[in-house]
Amino acid sequence: MIAVLLSVAVGHAQPLSVRPSEAQFAGMAASARWQALLHINQGATLRGIGHSYVDDNDFFLAADGATDPVAELRASWQALRIPGSPVRCRFPARYRFLAEQLGWQAHDPLAQCHEYRQWREQMPTGQLVLVFPAAYLNSPSSMFGHTLLRLDATPDPDSVWLSQAINFGARTDGLDNSLFYIWRGLAGGYPGRFSVVPYAEKIREYAFVENRDMWEYALNLDTDELDWVIRHLWELRDINFDYYFFDENCSFRLLELVKVGRPQAPLMDDLRFAELPVNTVRALYAANLVTERRYRPSKAGELEHLADGLDARELAMARRLLADPSLADSPAFSRFAPARRHVIAQVAYQALRLRHRQGPRDSANARDGLALLRIVQRNPAPPERPLAEPPAPETGHDTQMASVGLGGQDGTGFAEFGYRLTYHDILDPLAGFLPGAGIEGLNIRLRLSEDDGLSLESLDLVNIRSLAARGAFVKPTSWFVHAGLEQAPVAGGRDLATFIQGGPGASWNWGGFRPYAFAVARAETVTGFDPDLALGGGTELGAVYLAPNLQLGASARLLYFTDDFYRLRTSVTADMPLSTDNAVRADCARDTWQGQAVNSCRVALRHYFN
C-alpha cells in the first residue's frame, strides 16, 4: 500500500510489462475507487458483505472476481496492460484506474474503441442531476417514488430536452400480475439493469402520462468525476444485478454510481434495511453533493392550477370549448375579455392533450388542438399566475414511526405501543408527501390493559390508500387495500381476525376538505368462530381535512357478511404535527356487531425516525 502511494505521489510511471507486487495489488484493491468500481458491499446490506453486488459473470475477468477484489484487479491488469486490447474498450474506467495508479503513459489508449467513443460523444458532460418523480400508487415499483440520474450538457434548464436519463430498474416480462410482481420484487426474483434513454421520454412518462410531480437535484460532481461515472456506466451495459424492492433498488444503485465519481462521499457506509427514494435525496444532501433543487409539476397539476384561476362561468365555457372549439366564434365566448378568452382556451387545450395523452395520434384531436391553440394565440395573455412549489420530499417526516399512547375502552384503561416500518398514512404530517396518498408496511400495535394484560391490537402487513381527487377535467379512481390482523368485534366481545379488504372509490377536493366513498369487499377468519372464512361487502363513506398544521378524518364503514351478520365501524381522528418528526394523534371509534357496540378512545405521541 505504501509503495503504491509513494509511486503515485512522485508520479512514478511503471512500464506495462512490469507486474505490480502483491502488496501493490492488495493496496490498490483496497482503495475506495476500486471497491466502488466493483460494487463491493461495504456493509450497506447484510447479504454478502465484502462481495460484489453484481450478479453477472460477464462483469468479471477473474473466476472469483465477485468475491475477491484483489484477484479481479490482477486479472484486469493482465488484460488491460496490452496495447490495443479489446478489454480496454469493455472496461474504460478500470483502465483509467490502473493507468493512474501505475503511471501508465500512452497516447490515446482507447483509440481502437470505436463503439465506445461514438457512444461517449453522445453523453452530455455538463452536470449530473438526481431526479425524483413523486410517488405513483398505481405502480407497485413506484409507490414510494422513483429516482434516476440525468446527464446535462449545461446547467441551463431549457437544455434538459437534450439530456440523457440514467435509470436502474427490474427487468420483467410484463406477464406477472401485481401481487406476483411484488412477491418477486421482495424476494429478489428479478434481475436489475442500468439503461440510458433520452430524458424527454422520462418527462413524458412521469409528468404527462402518470401525472407525477418531479424534483430535480443538481449535484456538484466536476468534469473529472463525471468522466468516472460515464466510463463506468459503459461498463455496466447489459450487466445484471439482483433487484430487491426494499434495499437493492433504483435508489441504492444510483448512490453506488455517484460513489464511483466521488468514492470518498459517505453514501454507502451505513447498514440500511430499506432504501427509500426520499432517503437517497437526504443522503446526497448530507454528503454536500446537492447544489440546486428544481420543481417540475405534472401536467395534471399545471391544468388544475390553470383551472383554479377560472370562475364557474369560465370553467363551464372551457368544458364546452373542449367539446367543440368552434364555439370560439359564438357570442357567448366573445363576451369574455380577451385575456380571459386566452386562459379559457388554454385550459381547454391542456385538458384535450391530457385526455388523449396515450394511444395513437388521432386526426380529429389534432385538428381540435390546433384550433384551440389558435384561439390562445390570437388573445393576449394575462399576467402569469405562478404555481406555488409544494414542500420538497426531503422536508417531510422520517420514514419509520414509533408511538406510545393511553386510552380507554368501555371504561377499561389501556396503554398502547406502536411501531411502523414504513412510511406514511393519510393523516400523518403532510409536508413533503402526496396529499391523499398513504402507504404503510409492517405497522404493529400492542395494547396493555387492566383486564387482558399485553395483547396484539393490530398488525398491518400492508395498508395502501389512495384518495385521488377528481377535478373538472381529471377523473382518477381512488382505491385501497388493507391486509393483516386486527381485533374485530364478534359475538360476545372482540377477537383477533386475519383479514384482507379493499375496493375502488372516488374522492374530491374542496380546499383541503376531501370527501370520499369506497365500495368494500372483505374476507376474514377468526379462530374459533364460524364460518372459518367470512366474506363481506358494503361501503365506506368518509372525509379527511388535510392542512399543514392539522389533519382530520371521519369515516363510517358498513359491511354485511354471507353468514348473516353485519358490522359497522365509525371513527374520528385528529393529528397535529408538533415538529417535523413528532405529532400527537387522538381518535375515537365505535365498533358494532349485530347491535353490540364497543367504544374506545385514545391519544398517542408519534415519533418519526430513520
Q: What is the DSSP string of 70-101?
A: HHHHHHHHHHHTSTT-HHHHH-HHHHHHHHHH
- What's the distance, Cα to Cα, between the start and end of the chain in Å? 37
DSSP symbol at 15: P
Assigned C-alpha cell, 598: 364497543
Assess whether pLDDT exceeds 70 at residue 175. no
- Identify residue 110 by its one-letter amino acid code: L
Residues 425, 429, 431, 434, Cα dihedral to 10°: 20
Where residue 177 falls among pLDDT bands split at 50, 70, 90?
low
pLDDT at position 244 is: 84
H helical segments located in 187-298: 199-203, 223-235, 250-261, 277-286
pLDDT of res. 178? 61
Cα–Cα–Cα angle for 71, 74, 75, rounded to 5 degrees: 90
Higher pLDDT, 474 or 332: 332
For the chain, give the percent of residues with pLDDT over 90. 69
More confident site: 178 or 605: 605
Per-residue pLDDT for 113 more than 80? yes
Handedness of CA 195, 199, 204, 210 (dihedral sign): positive
In the prediction, which pLDDT does 11 show?
A: 44
Residue 528, Ramachandran bin (φ over 0: left; ψ between -120 and 50: alpha; else beta): left
Three-state secondary structure call for residue 318:
helix
pLDDT of residue 195: 93
- Dist. CA 346–CA 376, nearest whole Å: 6
pLDDT band at residue 185 under the 50/70/90 scheme? low
Q: How confident is the model at residue 483 (pLDDT cuts 50, 70, 90)?
A: very high
CA distance 339 to 610: 50
In this predicted structure, what is the pLDDT of residue 459?
97
Above 60 in pLDDT, residue 330?
Answer: yes
pLDDT at 146: 85
Kindly calculate the radius of gyration of the chain based on its CA atoms and give it in whole angstroms: 29
pLDDT tens for 100-112 read 999 998 889 999 9
Q: Which ranges of 515-556 does DSSP label H, i.e. alpha helix?
A: none
Of residues 139 and 94, the one with the higher pLDDT is: 94
Q: What are phi and psi of 501, to 5 degrees?
A: -150, 160
Asked whether 133 and 296 are in contact (CB, 8 A), the reply is no
- Report the C-alpha gap between 75 and 405 in whole angstroms: 60
pLDDT band with cut points at 50, 70 and 90 for residue 295: very high
Residue-wise pLDDT for 414-461, tens only, equals 999 999 998 899 999 999 998 999 999 899 999 999 888 999 999 999
- Mean pLDDT computed over 486-509: 92
Question: What's the mean pLDDT in 482-491?
Answer: 92
* Total residues found in the chain within this entry: 610
Other residues' Cβ atoms within 10 Å of the Cβ of residue 537: 15
Q: Is 554 left (phi over 0), alpha (psi -120 to 50) or beta?
A: beta
CA–CA distances in Å: residue 135 to residues 206, 321, 423, 433, 608: 10, 33, 12, 8, 19
pLDDT in tens, 241-292: 988 877 788 889 999 999 999 999 999 888 777 778 898 999 999 999 999 9
Retrieve residue 294's grid coordinates.
428544481
pLDDT of residue 473: 87
Question: Mind listing the pLDDT tens digit for each residue in 537-555?
Answer: 999 999 999 999 999 999 9
| Better-predicted residue by pLDDT, 574 or 138 | 574
**Mean pLDDT score, 15-38:** 93
- pLDDT(1) > 50: no
Q: What are phi and psi of 599, to 5 degrees?
A: -115, 140
CA–CA distance, 497 with 5 (Å, rounded to integer): 65
Separation CA 35–CA 22 (nearest Å): 17
| Most confident range, picked from 65-69, 452-456, 464-468 | 65-69
Q: What SS3 class is residue 323?
A: helix
Q: Report whether pLDDT(507) > 90.
A: yes
**314: Cα within 13 Å, side-chain hemisphere:** 18
| Mean pLDDT over the full length of the chain | 90
Q: What's the mean pLDDT in 19-41?
A: 96
List beta partners, residue 430. Answer: none
pTM as predicted: 0.86
pLDDT exceeds cutoff 80 at 359: no
Question: Cα(217)–Cα(156) distance, rounded to whole angstroms?
Answer: 13
Asked whether 341 and 377 are in contact (CB, 8 A), the reply is: no
Q: What average pLDDT does the segment 172-182 reach? A: 65
Res. 188: pLDDT tops 70: no
Section 85-92 average pLDDT: 96
**Predicted confidence band of residue 208 (pLDDT cuts 50, 70, 90):** low
Q: Is residue 308 within 8 Å of residue 337, measured between CB atoms?
A: no
Instruction: Give the residue from 514, 285, 297 showing the smallest Cα distance to 386.
Output: 297
Q: Is residue 346 scored above 70 in pLDDT?
A: yes
Query: What is the pLDDT at residue 514?
Result: 95
> How far apart, in whole angstroms, are the C-alpha atoms of residue 91 and residue 116?
10
pLDDT for residue 12: 53
pLDDT score of 179: 63
pLDDT 10s digits, 362-394 = 888 899 999 999 999 999 999 988 898 999 999
* List of residues 6+ apart from 80 with CB closer than 8 A: 87, 88, 91, 94, 95, 98
Give residues with Cβ within 8 angstroms of 109, minimum separation 6. Answer: 83, 88, 95, 99
Strand order in the sheet with 241-243: 241-243, 190-198, 164-170, 148-152, 127-133, 214-219, 290-296
In single-letter form, the type of residue at position 507 comes to S
Distance CA 316, CA 598 (A): 48
Higher pLDDT, 18 or 338: 338
Q: How confident is the model at residue 145 (pLDDT cuts 50, 70, 90)?
A: confident
The model's pLDDT over 552-570, given as tens digits with 9 standing for 90+, comes to: 999 999 999 988 899 999 9
- In the chain, the percentage of residues whose pLDDT exceeds 70 is 93
